[in-house]
Amino acid sequence: MQKTTDLLIIGGGIVGLATALACQRADASLKITVLEKEPSLATHQTGHNSGVLHSGVYYTPGSLKARMCRKGLAQMIEFAREHDIPHDICGKIITATEEAELPRLRQIMETGKQNGLSQLSLLDREDLKEVEPHCGGIAALHVPEAGIIDYRQVALKMAEEIERLQPRSRVLTGQEVRSITTEAGTHHVHTGTDKFQAAKLIVCGGLFADRLARGQGLNVPERIVGFRGDYYELTPQAQAKVRGLIYPVPDPAFPFLGVHFTKMIAGGVECGPNAVFTFKREGYGKTDFNLADTRDALGYAGTWKLFANHWRFGLKEYHRAFSKRQFLRTLQRLLPDLTAADIRPGRSGVRAVLLSPEGDTRSDFRILEGENSLHVLNAPSPAATASLAIGEAICLRAGFG
């Protein structure tokens, strides 16, 4: 027997839950069902990111990323305050370690100002030492509006709110989608244990968003390729060397911000991540392997074009993934007095990178429309920070609110 719902949302990460919450707030009578394949919510990208509340300092002015980040940051802080979710607007510094990085640092400051950040300031070496005494940069951009939070706690509270606003709505775990079919405008979704039908469907499939879209018969020329990021963490004795968030000046040629230091809301300091191709979309170990995922990625021309364009970067990242000494050298660019005894292996995460057939990363948010359905194909950082704003935008696009 099929279970009927007004709106079915696939994906129990923070974007899927924020979308469900936005739709529930827009129409309290709406019966919403959220399906998450794992035994618990926010298991993958939401639960494995660094927990940073991004300020919007990097993103192209006027872009969807920039607008969503600024709006979403304010909403996320308000949500955290309303529900007593621990967070800390601790600020961050973007650190130049050589003269060649100074023009880029000034450019980032100008971008931040255009995006509405009003508290930015450039620090010389002496001012930098006042903010982060152990940082070895020659200059830095101080971003007081950045912070930290536990996005898993946020996701769990979102799920609670959905069911509180409408007791008939459900957020279900252990429901891996096996097939999606559409007949006479009604979507039929089969999981390993149940069957669901709904008039409207929204898919927030994270690392498997492209496959779920193709499974509904949509044309998706791009492909998602997973990149694992490994972290080290500071030992308790070394944690005092970092007060907040310390970032390098990013290289605009790459879709990653570089190895950085992050104070965690639950305590401790993480260092990382690197970015290496993973042979399993949800593979968090260095040797994890899945044949279908590997064949999917390495059988795609866009992957090889990305490798060809950035092979030097890729080799450095792989070297760093298996060499604590090399990882430490990278960290010492920001904290010169860091030693091998100060760091120990930490966790890892996998981020979904949407690649075009030409090997270009799709850096902005991307939503694909189907028959009475929406598929979130790309929701890169700062998706967690911006999730409440993204959820509202998807809700409106779906015809609610």
- The whole-angstrom distance between residue 337's C-alpha and the CA centroid of its chain comes to 30
C-alpha to C-alpha distance for 216 and 207, rounded to whole angstroms: 16
Mean pLDDT over the full length of the chain: 93
What confidence category does residue 238 fall into, taking pLDDT thresholds of 50, 70 and 90?
very high
Based on the fold, state whether residues 323 and 384 are members of the same structural domain: no
Count other Cβ atoms within 10 Å, centred on residue 161. 19
Residue 191 placed within a domain: yes
Reduced to 3 states (helix: H, G, I; strand: E, B; else coil), residue 138 is: coil
Q: What pLDDT digit, counting tens, does each position of 277-308 carry?
A: 999 999 999 899 999 999 999 999 999 999 99
Q: Let me know the angle formed at the C-alpha of 272 by 140 and 100, rounded to the nearest 5 degrees.
A: 35
Whether residue 176 sits in one domain with residue 37: yes
The answer to whether residue 61 sits within a structural domain is no
Share of the chain above pLDDT 90, in %: 83
Tell me how many domains the chain contains. 3
Better-scored residue on pLDDT, 272 or 36: 36
Q: Tell me: pLDDT of 313 over 80.
A: no
User: What is the token pair recorded at 184?
Assistant: 């006479």
Give residue 275's domain range.
Answer: 223-361
Q: Is the domain of 352 the same as that of 232? A: yes
- Is 86 inside a domain boundary? no
Residues 356 and 373 in one domain: no
pTM: 0.95
The verdict on 275 and 324 lying in the same domain is: yes
Q: Is residue 183 part of a domain?
A: yes
CA distance 288 to 33: 32
| pLDDT category of residue 184 using cuts at 50, 70 and 90 | confident
Q: How far is CA 227 from the centre of its chain?
A: 12
Percent of the chain clearing pLDDT 70 (strictly above) = 98
Cα distance between residue 287 and residue 193, in whole Å: 31
- Residues 122-145: tens digit of each pLDDT: 999 999 999 999 999 999 999 999
Residues 128 and 272 in one domain: no
CATH of the domain at 371: 3.50.50.60
* Same structural domain, 237 and 350: yes
Phi and psi dihedrals of 32, rounded to 5?
Answer: -115, 140
- 372 part of a folded domain: yes
pLDDT for position 321: 73
What are 62-115's pLDDT values in tens digits? Answer: 998 999 999 999 999 999 999 999 999 999 999 999 999 999 999 999 999 999
Residue 213 covered by a domain? yes
Q: Which residues contact 295 (CB under 8 A, 6 or more apart)?
A: none
